[in-house]
Amino acid sequence: MTSMLVRFEQPNQVVDFVNTISRFDYDADIKYGRQIVDAKSILGVLYLAISRTVELVLHIDEDGCGDLRKKIAKFIV
């Protein structure tokens, strides 16, 4: 499992992020405090993460997420 901080300012950024992360087979969650939503859910990410810095938790080891990290680099804080 690996994690990183991400931030979305606009709803269209969330849509772009979810469309990108949905192309990958492993599970991913967005965590803010004690709340957790599926990172592949547009409504969940909009609800929890808009205009906040949140933790993206990827259920894969660090070595396996290099491609995803490059594709979502603009959201990583």
- What's the pTM value of the predicted model, to 2 decimals? 0.90
Pairing of strands 35-38, 28-32: antiparallel
For residue 72, give the 3-state DSSP assignment: coil
Q: For the sheet containing 53-58, what is the strand order?
A: 2-7, 53-58, 28-32, 35-38
Condensed to tens digits (0 to 9), the pLDDT of residues 13-66 reads: 999 999 999 999 889 999 999 999 999 999 999 999 999 999 999 998 777 777
Bridge partners of residue 32, in order along the sequence: 35
Q: Tell me, which fold does domain 2-75 have in CATH?
A: Histidine-containing Protein; Chain: A; (3.30.1340)
**Contacts for 59 with CB less than 8 Å, ≥ 6 apart:** 1, 26, 27, 28, 29
